Structure formats: C-alpha cells, structure tokens
Amino acid sequence: MPRSTARSARTDRRTAGPAAGTSRTARTTRVTAVAAALALGLGALALPAGVAAAAPHPAASCVTLAPGPDAKALCDAISALPDDEATAAQVRVGGNGAWLGTAGVRDLDSGAPALRHARFRAGSTSKIVTASMVLQLAAEGRVDLDRPVQRYLPGLFPPAFAPMTVRQLLNHTSGLKPGASFGDTTEEMWEHRFDTLTPQEVVAGSIAAGPGTTPGTVQRYSNIHYVVLGLMIEEVTGDTFAHQARVRVFRPLGMRDSYFPVNGDPRIHGPHNRGYERIGGRLTDVTEWNMTDRFAAGDLISSTADLETLLVSLFRGELVPRPYLDQMFEVPEVKDHDTGEDATIGLGLERFVNPAGLEIWGKTGSRPGYHTVIAATRDLSRTVVYSVNSTDARGDGNAIAQRFAFPAFNR
C-alpha cells in the first residue's frame, strides 16, 4: 500500500495524536447544493440572535501558501462567521496554488476562535473511503465488481431480491429501498441521538420494504447501498469495517485524524469545533451523536487536511490501482430516480460541470451540525475541501455551499 508519497499533499499540517433513506426532496436538495457550490456566487447572511453578545466575530485566518487561488474571494466568503447559516468553517484549497482559511467560533458559549485543524463528522464523504476499499479488494481478486453481492453475503437477501452486483451498489443502481432509520429530520432523530441502530437493522428495514427497482435500471442515491458494502467488506476480510479502513486507507496515507467510531461512541475524539442545529426553534449543541446507523455510508470523522490527502492520493492512483481508479469516474447510462435527469454518480464520486464547462468530481457529506465538501478537477489543478459547522447541515445546503466552493474554482 502507498505510504510516504501521499503525505506530500499536506500543507501546514500539525502533528496529531492517534485517532481514536433519501427522499426526492433530499436528493434534489443535495444536487442543487453541490451544483451551487461549484457554480454560484457569494451571499451575505445575518448573525443569529444571541450569538453576537456571546461570540463576537473573531478575525478570520486566511493564509496563502502558494499563489493561484482567488485569495480575496475565499477570505471574503468566511469573514462574517459566525452568522445565521454557520458557526465556523475550515477551508483548504490546493492544486495550482494553496490557500487555508478558518473562521467563526469553537463554541458559542466561550466565543473562542475556531480551530484550524479541527476534526469533524464528514458524513457521506465516507463513501469515498468505502468505495476505495471495495476497489482494493477487487484488485486483490477477492471481490468481482460484476458478481452479485449475494455471493459475498449469502443468506442476507431473500430469493425475491434479484441479483445485484457489487458495482450496482457502488453506483447506487442496485434497486434497494432505503433502510431503517430514526427519522427523516434532525428533530426526529434528536430523541434517538444516543440510541444504536445497527447496520444489520438498517439493512433489515430495507429488506422488509421489499424489492425496489430492477437492478441496473435507475440510479437512486441512498446510504443503504454503502451500508451493505460495509457488511460485505467485513464478511470478505473477516475483520471489522473500522479496522479495515484504518489499515487500508488511514494508516498507509498518514491520515492521523481519521477514524470510524466503534461501539456507538457518540463523541468526536481530539480537537474539534462544536456543531449546532436548530431544534425546536433554538440553536442546540448536537456534537455528541451516535451515528452507528450510517456505518460505512456516513460515520467518518476526519479533518480537512486528511480529506485533502485522501483526495490527492486517490486521484494520483496511490490508493486504488489505476484500472480500478478509472472506473470510479464511469457514470452509468441511466436516469436518476428522483430527478429524472441523467445519472451523475460513478463509484463513490459524483460528477459536476460548472457553467464554464469545467468538469469537477467530488462528494458532499452532512451530519447534524457539520457540512462537508471534497471536490477536485480530475487533473488536480484545483482541489477544495471544507467543513462548515452549519446550523442546518441536512437541510438546504445551497447558501452554505455557494459561499465556500465557488471562490475556489474562480481561476
């Protein structure tokens, strides 16, 4: 596995200790948010009531490490934090030039400046890690992408479920319906934030709902595909998913801030900025949360430096062998289940084209209190990774996304 080369992707990196169901509306919102991230301009937002007194705006930290990015636009994008949409942000821009930005507060009670190298819940950017692990297993001859997943998880799916290939799980065309959950909104899930819903229970909920669309005929973005893939990784390797992620991805790449929690641990270990969401009309601290149900689909805790390393190493062919890496950028020729538009998702990565015709590949992630984007041009001429402590991370991320990603692709 690659080790030293990926570390060169890090800039201004601290030394860290050891890491300890999608609806049509949600799908449309997700696509809109990322499209806006890559194509729209900036917006001015108001400071939430009560925040000004407890946490006056700390000065944003904006550092140009190498000329290239639009430093002024990037710094302007974060200079007003905290505001009504977010309490903090960490932004890393790389490629032809490099820029770092941090703004906002570590927590609303103290008003202390946000940490530059904070860890956070990275949400569905987890899928890039999971997809990379599956492709490694394919390169090792232990998994065939075009064999049914039923071959690797015998007895999990009843006969009523048509054979669905590993590739179809990776590109969200398996036809599975979303799995069991604690609710569709943050408020519904809040009451269960310390409860455990195991991956097996999530999959059982999908199975109980019965077969969905015919495998391979339509793309339907849902966590269920990657929850099944996580179980497959465990079955094939005879190891836990969290440990396999550590030995296959995090340790070889030197990603010292990244880990998947175990045993329902609701905490973010290591330095982090607190996450807040509006629950019952009030900003509520949602930092501690058991995300076991997201598993291989969205339970990753990471940092912007680590995710930049992941992105650069992956695109350089240092994590997944080149023939399999090329397949990550292959989008099936089917329609999206929710929008009716052409599919946009490959194997763990999603394709976007901005108004200037620039093709960008990446992934969004959102968990209560945290909104993440990881994106790049395929030639790595521009990369952007950010974590925003959004006050509505699972809602309409349009206002957040357009502020922090657009400046990165200005030039």
392 pLDDT exceeds 90? no
What's the whole-number mean pLDDT along residues 334-341? 96
Least confident of 141-155, 190-204, 214-228, 355-369: 355-369
All domains of the chain, ordered by start, with CATH? 5-98+105-409 (3.40.710.10)
Q: What is the pairing mode between strands 335-336 and 218-219?
A: parallel
From 124, 132, 174, 181, active-site residue: 124
Global pTM reads 0.87
What pLDDT is stored for residue 196 in this prediction?
98
Q: Count the neighbouring beta carbons within 10 Å of the beta carbon of residue 232.
A: 24
Q: What is the pLDDT of residues 22-31, one digit of tens each?
A: 444 444 444 4
What's the whole-number mean pLDDT along residues 136-140? 98
What pLDDT is stored for residue 95 in this prediction?
95
110 is catalytic: no
Q: Taking Cα atoms as reference points, which of 104, 163, 164, 169 lies closest to residue 135?
A: 169
- Spatial distance between the Cα atoms of 189 and 185, rounded to a whole number of angstroms: 6
Q: What's at 236, amino acid-wise? A: V
Q: What is the pLDDT of residues 169-192, one digit of tens each?
A: 999 999 999 999 999 899 999 999
278, containing H or E segment: strand 276-279
Q: What is the pLDDT of residues 109-129, one digit of tens each?
A: 999 999 999 999 999 999 999
Position 402 confidence tier, pLDDT thresholds 50, 70, 90: low
What's the whole-number mean pLDDT along residues 73-100? 93
Q: Taking Cα atoms as reference points, which of 151, 155, 171 lies closest to residue 163?
A: 151
